[in-house]
Amino acid sequence: MGCDPVGDSSARDGGAVNSTLPTRYEVLQACRGELDSDHPLLAAARQLTRWHERRLVAGTSECPESASRKPEPDPASPVTGSPCGAAESRADLITRIDRWAEIHVPPVRGAAFVHTETLGSVLDRLAYLTAHAYTALAAHDEWELWFLWERLAELSCAYEDLVTELAAGRRRLPGTMI
């Protein structure tokens, strides 16, 4: 197993999980704002990236927007909310992703290793690295850019491996029932 840096994971036979979870390419495109999709995880990945971008622009660990500027939630989406309004909106969004995964990722039968992170945490880290990589690109910081692109590539491969292992029943997400 492993990540094929140029291959398309959607071509693999992954069963229901691969058809439920977006590919790493789709997640990265969503983080960059290049993919317009109705998939709730892709919308959440974009929102998380925006949250990190706004935090970077403000130069703080806190989100620059005021909590009073929250957008109206979309009742049709399980992962709605302000990407960067109240301090807890990021945590809320990660929790919504995890709840979505509990409902849509089929439970595994038998023994499966527990992954170390929730799906929301993995998508948040992908969003974080994407936002930081584009900040380094804009700042013409070649060393930082190289470092961040490497980490982003490794994490996107790890995401793809997680999706493949979930589909094969070899891995389960934390908090999911066996």
The model's pLDDT over 41-88, given as tens digits with 9 standing for 90+, comes to 999 999 999 999 999 988 865 544 433 333 444 433 444 444 445 455
Percent of the chain with pLDDT over 90: 52
Q: Residue 158 pLDDT more than 50? A: yes
Burial of 103 (0-12, 13-18, 19+ CB in 10 A): exposed
Burial code (b: 16+ CB inside 10 Å, e: under 16) for 72-84 equals eeeeeebbbbbbb
CB 96 within 8 A of CB 122: no
Q: Rounded to whole angstroms, how far apart are CA atoms 133 and 173?
A: 27
Average pLDDT, the chain: 79
Q: Residue 11 pLDDT more than 70? A: no
Residues 6+ away with beta carbon under 8 Å from 156: 3, 24, 27, 28, 126
Largest CA distance in the chain: 50
Q: What's the pLDDT band for 162 if we cut at 50, 70, 90?
A: very high
Q: Residue 1 pLDDT more than 90? A: no
* Nearest one of 88, 55, 58 to 70, comparing CA atoms: 88
Q: How many residues does the chain have?
A: 178
Cα dihedral value 18, 99, 32, 8, nearest 10: -10
Q: Residue 109 pLDDT more than 80? A: no
- Amino acid (one-letter) located at 100: W
Residues 6+ away with beta carbon under 8 Å from 45: 27, 30, 31, 123, 126, 127
Q: Provide the token pair at 172.
A: 């389960």
